[in-house]
Copies of this chain bind each other. A is one copy, B any other.
Amino acid sequence: MRIALVAPLAEAVPPKLYGGTERVVSWLAEELVRQGHEVTLFASAESQTTARLVRCAPQSLRLAGIRDHIGSTLAMLREVRRRADEFDVIHFHIDLLPNALFHDLAHKCLITLHGRLDMPDAFPLYEAYPEMPLVSISDSQRGPMPDCANWLTTIKHGLGRGLCPFDPEGGDYLAFLGRISPEKRPDRAIEIARLSGVQLRIAAKIDNVDLEYFNTMIEPMLDHPLIEFIGEINEDEKREFLGKARALLFPIDWPEPFGLVMIESMSAGTPVIAWRGGSVPEVIADGVSGVIVDSMAGAVAAVRTVSELSRAGVRAEFERRFTAERMALAYVAAYRTLLARREALSHAPAPHAARAFRAAPAFIVEPTAAKSVLETPLAESA
């Protein structure tokens, strides 16, 4: 199949540092190529791929210091549009702009929504451009979205089998990995460790925006013999860090749309103790790949029992549900669904696309003033 993947320009694909979306796009691109598809990747110039790369920005925008990504993204989308005939399917990993710019090609397009969707700012867009097929990365991610959203399917992220190798031994500490921020609740992780008397190692970066939270809330909690803050770690250190842990703590307090670190941990064979919320019940098989808890008492109890879970069983659950191969196969199935729909529509009496757009009732046309504001003082016109 001839597949276009359109990545964010914020980071390279794969990213040189962070960038969850760009990492997933990279894994998907490589796996689709491996499965024999003809893949074209639209991404920033320093991306590395076995697919055909269309360089759409001379450098990743974050490294280039470009804050407003709209101009560069719209420029990329013109190039995608210019080549649209070269592809059977165009798979976007950026949202909002493709809905508006490709709605007339919606029959061969889909958008994976990578972020949280509980911000109403974007809802008018989905109401105005309801044609575009959308893919969620968990079912729970869909919750806040308006009814008009045109969901095609849910496809959970997948990881290459070798990226976080299985460690049959594990270790004895609890691991917290990711970002220091209020919604990730590192404070809960520390409390769990203290109450259960088990060592906690925290490997996390601190964004500027979270520096005050770290300084005032977290740093004072670190002065305890069981707590070790090791800061930011690289990908090599991460494999060791996850593989040698007793369990990963994932005590989130926000509607996590997916949570890549959970499947990285599962890949290493390390079970996850996770707070119920967002995608957690869809990612963790309770009692197989981890323990889902709702309270501090539950979390402390889980620390005691989690070692009873088979690490091989955790890895098997990863292999069954969260490999990049499985993710790519699911996307290919979604692409084929689109192609089949298009085929069916080409034989139908009236085009589906023409019916799909419902004029939003907000657009009312009428004059609102009998006299002009031009010659009256401004105060009266307000």
Contacts and interface: CB of A to CB of B under 8 A. Distances in A.
A127 B75 CA distance: 8
Nearest to A74: B100
A346 interface: no
A124 B372 contact: no
B77 A100 contact: yes
A364 B55 contact: yes
A308 interface: no
B377 A236 contact: yes
Contact of A163 (B370, B378, B382): B378
A40 B66 CA distance: 36
Contacts of A295: none
A71 B377 contact: no
Contact of A362 (B23, B57, B103, B362): B57
Interface string A15-43: 11100000100110011011000001000
Contacts of A362: 45, 55-58
Counting every copy of the chain, the complex holds: 2
B75 A372 contact: no
Contacts of A77: 100
A49 interface: yes
Given A14-B381, A40-B365, A101-B101, A161 B375 contact: yes
Given A125-B71, A379-B234, A53 B119 contact: no
Contact of A235 (B79, B357, B379): B379
Given A50-B370, A53-B366, A369-B48, A99 B74 contact: yes
Contact of A129 (B78, B119, B235): B78
A67 interface: yes
Contact of A374 (B34, B69, B238): B34
Given A67-B121, A70-B122, A235-B379, 8 more contacts: A49-B369, A50-B367, A50-B369, A55-B362, A79-B359, A163-B377, A235-B378, A236-B379
16 contacts: A14-B381, A16-B382, A26-B381, A27-B373, A31-B372, A40-B365, A47-B368, A50-B370, A51-B367, A53-B366, A53-B368, A55-B363, A66-B121, A79-B360, A162-B377, A238-B378
